[in-house]
């Protein structure tokens, strides 16, 4: 017999709140195709559509409007029950470091959900440039951190792998430039090192015309047509083009988002947060 499970209801709520399948999928850390399959399953169970297409997004159908308050009540009650059951089992303090670019999206959502489920854990979150996080773990000023590396060590758990490539604005052609304008990170990190190594291998003149502390800043320069930049493929969209072959670049390394803790026995808050981060990335992959 068909039944409505909480995953289907949460998917429905995420898309309803976001107004589109793509944005709703990002909220629950699923791919767009996986989210669409859940919605189709929900509609098959109900026998009616829960959304109507509207421009680039979706709006609730009559059935969706009837389902909305019930889905909100059911998921809220489940969350309350989980919180009540789990709140006595995990307590303490956790000092967590997350990279600023990722901290604005997926990791911020994970932390918010963790706080709801484990209200007795005192979270001290540092959202900043992550190149100093390994040192902070070693010194004991952070308990757990998420950061990017090219080659992970044995104690670093890989959460996500993103191939890199040289990218330019789709509306700008740099092939005729004698000296290639480049946007780089302005601090010591593996991204900057990888970009410079790739430029040296290319063995043609270049000039750094734009520097930024974040991926967001490098993307802005590339989108504006000021320069080319080394970015992860996850950053690509319709306004950007991969120019490795066009500009004579060889292959570039992948970026790996990793999670690591300081070298002591794991605490309850550390274990719980690591499980929450790990599950979210595995579900969304």
Average pLDDT (261-271) is 79
Asked if residue 76 has pLDDT above 80, the reply is yes
Asked if residue 107 has pLDDT above 90, the reply is no
Confidence tier at 100 by pLDDT (50, 70, 90)? confident
Residues of the chain with CATH 3.40.190.10: 92-150+257-284, 161-252
CATH number corresponding to 6-86: 1.10.10.10
Asked if residue 263 has pLDDT above 80, the reply is no
pLDDT the model gives residue 24: 87
Confidence tier at 110 by pLDDT (50, 70, 90)? confident
Average pLDDT (225-244) is 92
Q: Which CATH architecture has domain 92-150+257-284?
A: 3-Layer(aba) Sandwich (3.40)
User: How does pLDDT run across 38-72, given as a tens digit for each residue?
Assistant: 999 999 999 999 999 887 789 999 999 999 999 99
Instruction: Say which residue, 283 or 75, is predicted with more confidence.
Output: 75
In angstroms, the first-to-last Cα distance of the chain is 30
- Would you identify the CATH topology of the domain 161-252? D-Maltodextrin-Binding Protein; domain 2 (3.40.190)
pLDDT the model gives residue 113: 81
How many whole angstroms separate alpha carbon 223 and alpha carbon 203?
25
pLDDT the model gives residue 102: 59
Mean pLDDT estimate for the chain? 87
pLDDT the model gives residue 1: 55
pLDDT the model gives residue 88: 57
User: How does pLDDT run across 157-168, given as a tens digit for each residue?
Assistant: 999 888 999 999
The top-scoring range by mean pLDDT among 23-32, 72-81, 131-140, 163-172 is 163-172
pLDDT the model gives residue 186: 81
Asked if residue 104 has pLDDT above 60, the reply is no
The top-scoring range by mean pLDDT among 2-6, 84-88, 175-179 is 175-179
Confidence tier at 118 by pLDDT (50, 70, 90)? confident
Instruction: Say which residue, 100 or 71, is predicted with more confidence.
Output: 71
On whether the CB atoms of residues 204 and 217 are closer than 8 A, the answer is no
pLDDT the model gives residue 266: 66
Confidence tier at 204 by pLDDT (50, 70, 90)? very high
């Amino acid at each position: 017999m068909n039944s409505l499970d909480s995953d289907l209801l949460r998917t429905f709520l995420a898309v309803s709140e976001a107004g589109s399948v793509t944005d709703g999928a990002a909220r629950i850390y699923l791919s767009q195709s996986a989210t669409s399959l859940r919605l189709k399953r929900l509609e098959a169970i109900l026998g009616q559509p829960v959304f109507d297409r509207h421009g680039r997004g979706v709006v609730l159908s009559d059935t969706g409007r009837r389902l909305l308050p019930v889905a909100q009540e059911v998921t809220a009650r489940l969350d309350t029950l989980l919180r009540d059951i789990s709140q006595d089992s995990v307590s303490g303090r956790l000092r967590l470091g997350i990279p600023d670019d990722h901290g604005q999206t997926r990791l911020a959502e994970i932390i918010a959900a963790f706080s709801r489920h484990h209200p007795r854990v005192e979270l001290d979150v540092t959202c900043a440039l992550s190149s100093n996080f390994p040192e902070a773990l070693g010194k004991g000023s952070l308990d757990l951190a998420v950061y990017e590396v090219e080659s992970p060590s044995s104690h670093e758990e890989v959460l996500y792998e993103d191939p890199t490539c040289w990218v330019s604005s789709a509306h700008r052609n740099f092939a005729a430039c004698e000296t290639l304008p480049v946007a780089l990170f302005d601090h010591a990190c593996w991204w900057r090192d990888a970009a410079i190594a790739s430029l040296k291998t290319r063995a043609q003149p270049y000039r750094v015309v734009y520097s930024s502390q974040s991926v967001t800043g490098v993307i802005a320069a590339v989108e504006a047509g000021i320069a080319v930049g080394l970015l992860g493929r996850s950053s690509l969209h319709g306004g950007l083009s991969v120019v490795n072959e066009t500009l004579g670049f060889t292959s570039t390394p992948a970026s790996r988002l990793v999670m690591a803790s300081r070298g002591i026995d794991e605490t309850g808050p550390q274990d719980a947060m690591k499980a929450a981060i790990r599950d979210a990335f595995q579900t969304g992959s």
